Amino acid sequence: MKIFLYRLLQCTWGVLQTLLGLIVFLLHWQDRHFSYRGAVITVWQAKSSVSLGLFVFVTDEPYFAEKFSGRMSVAELSDRLLVHEYGHTIQSLLLGPLYLLLIGIPSTLWGFSPTLNRKRKEAQISYFSFFTERWANALGERVTGKRSMEQLVID
């Protein structure tokens, strides 16, 4: 019943981001897919991960994995990243049509702006300290009961 409600809400209240996610999913139909708590997960070759409503696209090998070599396995980092991205799907459920405006755009700017990337790297600020990412971590952990990315500095 929970999965049915999750999917129904993502396809109605979160229809904008779910439609975008469907387009990206269809472009990556050949990649590996699985279901996680109702979300459709695609493991893709991109260096970053993104959540679009019902659809989550996670990197097959986090670019920052080597930074944690000896402290955390790639499998653990991937699991934590999945919990984080699943947290974004919960934000989609809560915010509906406002998700892209309030989470998607700020998160994308925080992640891909060269100026912000440089400042984060120089000051060793965690990517996950930004409000959209911190909230996704908290929601993902609360819903799954698993650890997310916390305040790991990945840059």
> Has residue 1 got a pLDDT over 80?
no
pTM, rounded to two decimals: 0.94
Query: What's residue 60's pLDDT?
Result: 83
Does residue 153 sit within a domain?
no
Query: What's residue 74's pLDDT?
Result: 87
Check: CB of residue 121 under 8 Å from CB of residue 155: yes
Q: Which domain holds residue 41?
A: 2-144
Query: What's residue 102's pLDDT?
Result: 98
Does residue 104 sit within a domain?
yes
Does residue 49 sit within a domain?
yes
User: 69-83, 101-115, 128-142: which has the minimum mean pLDDT?
Assistant: 69-83
- Per-residue pLDDT tens for 83-130? 999 999 999 999 999 999 999 999 999 999 999 999 999 999 999 999
Q: Work out the average pLDDT over 131-135.
A: 98
User: How many folded domains does the chain comprise?
Assistant: 1
Does residue 112 sit within a domain?
yes
Task: Please state, for a pLDDT cut of 90, what percent of the chain lies above it.
Answer: 85
Query: What's residue 50's pLDDT?
Result: 97
CA dihedral 33, 35, 36, 37 (to 10 degrees): 160
Does residue 54 sit within a domain?
yes
HSE toward the beta carbon, residue 52, CA cutoff 13 A: 17
The rounded mean pLDDT for the chain is: 95
Check: CB of residue 126 under 8 Å from CB of residue 153: yes
Burial of 44 (0-12, 13-18, 19+ CB in 10 A): buried
Query: What's residue 64's pLDDT?
Result: 82
> Has residue 67 got a pLDDT over 90?
no
CA 82/CA 49 separation, integer angstroms: 9
Does residue 150 sit within a domain?
no
- Per-residue pLDDT tens for 30-62? 999 999 999 999 999 998 999 999 999 999 888
Does residue 56 sit within a domain?
yes
